[in-house]
């Protein structure tokens, strides 16, 4: 691994996600006085949303010599091979939420767009945007140089 960063998460984003879970917990508590079945369903929905958000929210962004890896919750991750990346650059914050592609951005500040030759484009929000871009562009340059020289390094785990 060449570099690893964690996602930047805005306070309002945490409040929105946490608020949704808390809402269903509160509804479940209120429904305890109406009927146990309805309360359990609401609490089950709260647990489901908490697990869902934990599983699909990015936990880390990793740069390897052959790929960018977006580590999600649990055993899930998404690998983006470097040879499929056309470019990576900083974009305005609105693209974190209004974008034609895959959005793993959890902040409207420090948004990075990874434009791909094939496959879906991706927006992410690493905590150190400038250093992440610097490391990714170094890896892309090295990968492109290897491709023109006709040899490659062994893939990293």
> How far from the centroid of its chain's Cα atoms is residue 101's Cα?
12
Tens of pLDDT, residues 61-103: 999 999 999 999 989 999 999 999 999 999 988 888 887 888 9
What pTM did the predictor assign?
0.85
Return the pLDDT at 156: 57
Tens of pLDDT, residues 107-149: 998 999 999 998 899 999 999 999 999 999 999 998 888 777 7
Dist. CA 31–CA 17, nearest whole Å: 22
**In DSSP terms, which residues pair with 112 in a beta bridge?**
90, 124
The DSSP element (H or E) to which 155 belongs, if any, is: none
Return the pLDDT at 93: 87
**Do residues 133 and 112 make contact, with C-beta atoms less than 8 angstroms apart?**
yes
Residue 38: pLDDT over 80: yes
- E runs forming strands in 56-99: 60-63, 67-71, 77-81, 85-90
Domain ranges of the chain: 11-56, 58-149
Fold topology of 58-149: PH-domain like (2.30.29)
């Amino acid at each position: 691994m060449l570099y690893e960063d964690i996602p930047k998460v805005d306070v309002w984003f945490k409040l929105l996600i946490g608020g949704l879970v808390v809402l269903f917990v509160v509804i479940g508590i209120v429904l305890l006085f109406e009927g146990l079945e309805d309360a359990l369903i609401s609490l089950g929905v709260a647990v489901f949303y908490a697990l869902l958000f934990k599983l699909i929210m990015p936990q880390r962004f990793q740069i390897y010599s052959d790929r960018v890896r977006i580590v999600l919750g649990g055993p899930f991750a998404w690998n983006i091979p470097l040879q499929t990346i056309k470019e990576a650059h900083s974009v305005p914050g609105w693209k974190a939420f209004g974008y034609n592609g895959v959005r793993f951005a959890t902040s409207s500040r420090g948004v990075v767009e990874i434009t791909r030759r094939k496959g879906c484009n991706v927006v992410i929000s690493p905590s150190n945007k400038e250093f992440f871009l610097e490391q990714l562009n170094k890896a892309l340059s090295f990968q492109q140089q290897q491709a023109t020289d006709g040899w490659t390094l062994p893939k990293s785990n």
